Structure 1
């Protein structure tokens, strides 16, 4: 735990986990220096639209799935001030959500996030990721958190900046190419942030960095290739009845009734002198499965862990 409250940047690559390759050196560097693992998700509803999936999975990541269900069902509490904001839930935490998805912007606004598109943040008329200078974007993100010129300013607008990129938002190009471009953009932007937040620097001592990459829409074929279940062969059949349930399938003392055991989100976190270092060397499912120090946790616990690092939650999981 840091001796002062941290600030946090979360990069969320929506549907981009499949497109990570050896050329994405900054992603792999983060994994090799930080602590990595999996975030498990619930199963998708039948015949879910892509736009609904985008909002639902972010809602789970923000532990706001019930608010999302209220929105879908158009309950009165969604239309009024009864929805708990991020500030209400986490000791006054000020949070920004940066996304080009209009549905996600609306949902984030209801949760108390200040929402931006990237072009609004950087004050440019170019609405494509490639049109924004990486140095300008990285500096702009850190400025929102009170870091400028490698120094800590006296005041800041936000404690947390959540950056959503992906899900094929560039519809004027081939979808796989859009995903690949977005993955490269996150890799390059991450490199820009790491360059500023050098270990031991003022920014490096106060910045908590998380990168989350999801698989987006998943198919049945992914169940065997990307499963997080302990293989049956690893269990002693004579002791199978005594084999404990994996903790990500539990909520307190009660089993979670809706857990997807494949295609989890991949997560790597780093803060100088604060986070643990595991033995993972690449940002990949196989490396996280074998060497990841965070193992598997439910995705709805993620924000609580980050809030703890920002001194906005009394303890992890609270």
Structure 2
């Protein structure tokens, strides 16, 4: 446990999980140092629009499904400050127009990390950056996705360079990389499912097979859990988060070697709050 509360940076990459490739070196480097796992989501409502899906999944991530019913004031209801890219970096229309190292510097400034030092006070304890529009990909949109992926890769690389082990920032910055699959097929995909199946050869033990923890809420079983296409999660803070055996940032490596396994997406913010000393570990 740290001797001071951390400050958290969350990179939330909407709809980019399927496009992680071998060339995204910094994502894989982060995974090899981080604790990896999954965030499970509920199933999408019937005939949900793409815009509604984007807001709903972010609402789940923020454990704010009640506020989601009125999307236009969603951020205000949660007490979130929404910063457009042209406010973060003056006179520019999108983050993609700005070198990644400049954006990283501005994001860390919001958290009170400046020029390699940790200021006593900061504007925010938690900053969440949204990248990617996450819809169905075809034609020209492939180029946009590729551009988003390269940008996320560069952001992660610059963050890790600044918060490297031994640095003053490294012991205080809690970094979470969250990648969702965006729009997904309605049918389950056994190749991208976190569900652990029962071993039919041991039929005498089937009655003892426990419910997996991500399907439970306290003593009650969750009514709606989507087992397939979970969000990928990597969390890293030098000397604080445990390192697991994952070597690349992928579904397969996270399932086989990740230390976090799967938790419901609506518990993510509570896990982060614990690192910020704003919630107890259990029952947050």
Taking structure 1 as the reference length, what is the TM-score of the superposition?
0.85
Instruction: Give the Å deviation of 1:238.
Output: 1.9
Gaps of 5+ in 2: none
> Hey, what does 2:22 align to over in structure 1?
22
CA distance, structure 1, for counterparts of residue 230 and residue 247 of structure 2: 19
Given that 2:34 and 2:234 are in contact with CA atoms closer than 8 Å, whether structure 1 keeps it comes out as yes
Aligned pairs for 1:1-318 (under 5 A) are: 1-69=1-69, 71=70, 106-125=73-92, 127-167=93-133, 174-220=140-186, 223-233=189-199, 236-318=202-284
CA distance, structure 2, for counterparts of residue 310 and residue 221 of structure 1: 38
Gaps of 5+ in 1: 73-102
Given that 2:67 and 2:74 are in contact with CA atoms closer than 8 Å, whether structure 1 keeps it comes out as no
CA distance, structure 2, for counterparts of residue 287 and residue 234 of structure 1: 25
3-state SS of paired residue (1:115): coil
Instruction: Give the Å deviation of 1:178.
Output: 1.5
Given that 1:308 and 1:316 are in contact with CA atoms closer than 8 Å, whether structure 2 keeps it comes out as no
**CA distance 1:29–1:234, shift in 2 (3 Å):** farther
3-state SS of paired residue (1:286): helix
CA distance, structure 2, for counterparts of residue 274 and residue 235 of structure 1: 41
Given that 1:305 and 1:316 are in contact with CA atoms closer than 8 Å, whether structure 2 keeps it comes out as no
CA distance, structure 2, for counterparts of residue 120 and residue 248 of structure 1: 38
Instruction: Give the Å deviation of 1:176.
Output: 2.4
CA distance, structure 2, for counterparts of residue 220 and residue 52 of structure 1: 16
Instruction: Give the Å deviation of 1:236.
Output: 2.1
CA distance, structure 2, for counterparts of residue 108 and residue 59 of structure 1: 9
Instruction: Give the Å deviation of 1:287.
Output: 0.2
Instruction: Give the Å deviation of 1:117.
Output: 1.5
CA distance, structure 1, for counterparts of residue 48 and residue 142 of structure 2: 20
Which string of whole-angstrom CA distances, capped at 9 and with x for unpartnered residues, describes residues 89-120 of structure 1? xxxxxxxxxxxxxx6xx422321111111222
**CA distance 1:227–1:64, shift in 2 (3 Å):** same
Instruction: Give the Å deviation of 1:264.
Output: 0.4
3-state SS of paired residue (1:276): coil
**CA distance 1:235–1:30, shift in 2 (3 Å):** farther
CA distance, structure 1, for counterparts of residue 242 and residue 277 of structure 2: 18
CA distance, structure 2, for counterparts of residue 243 and residue 231 of structure 1: 10
CA distance, structure 2, for counterparts of residue 63 and residue 301 of structure 1: 7
> How many residue pairs align between the two structures?
282
3-state SS of paired residue (2:229): coil
Taking structure 2 as the reference length, what is the TM-score of the superposition?
0.95
3-state SS of paired residue (2:223): coil
3-state SS of paired residue (1:116): coil
3-state SS of paired residue (1:244): coil
Which string of whole-angstrom CA distances, capped at 9 and with x for unpartnered residues, describes residues 121-142 of structure 1? 01123x2333112111000000
- What is the alpha-carbon root mean square deviation over aligned residues? 1.8
